[in-house]
Amino acid sequence: MKKFEKKICNKTFVVNAEGELESQVKLLFEVLSEIEEQRLVSGFSLQIGWGVYYLSEENENEFVITTPDYLENPFKKTTIDLTLSLWVQLEQTHLLRILQLEGMTTKYSDKIIMERNVLDGEKFYLQRTRAVEKGDSGWYVGTIKEETKEIYAIYAYELLKMKPQIIKLLSLPNDYMVFFDKGEVKSIVDADNNILI
């Protein structure tokens, strides 16, 4: 893990992350530099895409940036290691750039509906419909079998342990579908049924 520092408005901001994510760290610093100075105080939070970042004043005018701990309990724990949060952001942005799309945010705490044991199979699909309530990502993960299925909800961050390959897809827009075969993305289909990949 590498320590990055940046002085903004006479305050020092510290980010801890893997060195390979330097470009994402710079983007985070850029976003902070556009925020009014009086808002940059301990406890300030900022959502960027999937993740939320918090300012924690360690010394006078020195702030360490933390994020929810997605590998533990992000509702109760934070971590100074921003690697995972920045990696998700990078993966999602990279895919949108390849597809030349404007994405839609799925926050780590948004719910995803899925069929029981669907990720154990070789073939499954993801489909995003318009979310009906706050905190609903609109994503559904299912199989094509025509049978009664037991469904349940998970938080988006839980996919990091269950099937991390899905995380980068969560910023795709409404009405997009993704088909998996043998654990890999087989195709991405847009709202007009055009196959993008």
Is pLDDT at 29 greater than 80 in this prediction? yes
> Both 31 and 67 in a single domain?
yes
> Both 79 and 107 in a single domain?
no
Please choose, from the candidates 108, 96, 107, the residue with its C-alpha nearest in 3D space to the C-alpha of residue 176: 96
Question: What band does 46 get if pLDDT is binned at 50, 70 and 90?
Answer: very high
Report the pLDDT value the prediction gives residue 128, as an integer from 0 to 100. Answer: 96
Report the pLDDT value the prediction gives residue 181, as an integer from 0 to 100. Answer: 93
Kindly compute the dihedral angle of the four CA atoms of residues 84, 175, 181, 95, in this order, to the nearest 10 degrees. -40
* pLDDT over 90, % of the chain: 83
Contact 187, 181 (CB under 8 A): no
Question: What band does 193 get if pLDDT is binned at 50, 70 and 90?
Answer: confident
Query: For the segment 97-137, what is each residue's pLDDT rounded down to a tens digit?
Result: 999 999 999 999 999 999 999 998 889 999 999 867 889 99
Report the pLDDT value the prediction gives residue 131, as an integer from 0 to 100. Answer: 67
The reported pTM is 0.89
Q: Say if 197 falls within a structural domain.
A: no
Domain that holds residue 61: 2-93
Is pLDDT at 196 greater than 90 in this prediction? no
How many domains does the chain fold into? 2
Q: Say if 120 falls within a structural domain.
A: yes
> Both 17 and 88 in a single domain?
yes
Query: For the segment 69-94, what is each residue's pLDDT rounded down to a tens digit?
Result: 999 999 999 999 999 999 999 999 99
* pLDDT over 70, % of the chain: 98
Structure tokens belonging to residue 110: 């948004």
> Both 117 and 161 in a single domain?
yes
Report the pLDDT value the prediction gives residue 129, as an integer from 0 to 100. Answer: 93
> Both 110 and 182 in a single domain?
yes
Query: For the segment 161-182, what is each residue's pLDDT rounded down to a tens digit?
Result: 999 999 999 999 999 999 999 8
> Both 41 and 75 in a single domain?
yes
Q: What mean pLDDT value characterizes the chain?
A: 93
Mean pLDDT lowest among 47-56, 137-146, 154-163: 137-146
> Both 11 and 78 in a single domain?
yes
* Cα Rg of the chain, angstroms: 18
Report the pLDDT value the prediction gives residue 132, as an integer from 0 to 100. Answer: 72
